[in-house]
Amino acid sequence: MKNRAAPRSGIAMSSDRPASIPGVPRTPSGGDVIASAVLTESGTELGTVVEVVIETGDRADVVGFEIEAVEGLRPGDDHHVFIPLPDTLAISGDNIIVPDSARDFVRDDLTGFGGAVADFRSQLGEEA
């Protein structure tokens, strides 16, 4: 398994098939989420999933995806970014749907990504 832990964050990544990690989302058809399109609720494509970001601890919690971002999502030439996920989300063999506000919490690397996930989920909790 390829694991890259970010210092002090408790965040790790896996490019293995998600079936090998408890809690990592799988599509209803049993396929994994790698290469799935990430779409906002209002219909804007953000990119395609490259890797799954999990929070390590007593149990694995999927907290985000590394995505190959569509052009224009972030400034600069590096189009690989990290996007936080809500507690629950809709996944099919076609798409992964995220709230529109997820794009406000996109990060260029894993440094501070745990905080971005917490802020994003906290904001969603306040909206609910």
Partner 1 sequence: MRWKQAKGRTVVNTSTAENLGTLSGFAVNPDTSQLVALVIGDQVITWADAGGIGKDAVTIADEEMVRPPESSLEKAAAGGSGDPVGKRVITEDGHDIGCVADIDFDAQTGAIRELVLGDDEVLGSRLLGIGSFAVMVSSAQRSMGGGQLDALSKAELYEMAKTRDVDGRSSMTKSELIDALA
The binding site for partner 1 (CB under 8 A) comprises 39-45, 89-97
Q: By C-beta, is 44 or 56 nearer to partner 1?
A: 44
Q: Backbone dihedral region of 41: left (phi > 0), alpha (psi from -120 to 50 degrees) or beta? A: alpha
State which H helix or E strand residue 48 sits in.
strand 45-55
Q: What is the dihedral of CA 51, 45, 91, 18, to 10 degrees?
A: -10
> Please, what is the minimum distance in Å from the beta carbon of residue 53 to partner 1?
19
Q: By C-beta, is 41 or 109 nearer to partner 1?
A: 41
> Please, what is the minimum distance in Å from the beta carbon of residue 58 to partner 1?
29
Q: By C-beta, is 28 or 76 nearer to partner 1?
A: 28
Q: Amino acid identity, residue 63?
A: V
The token duo for 111 is 């440094």
> Please, what is the minimum distance in Å from the beta carbon of residue 44 to partner 1?
4
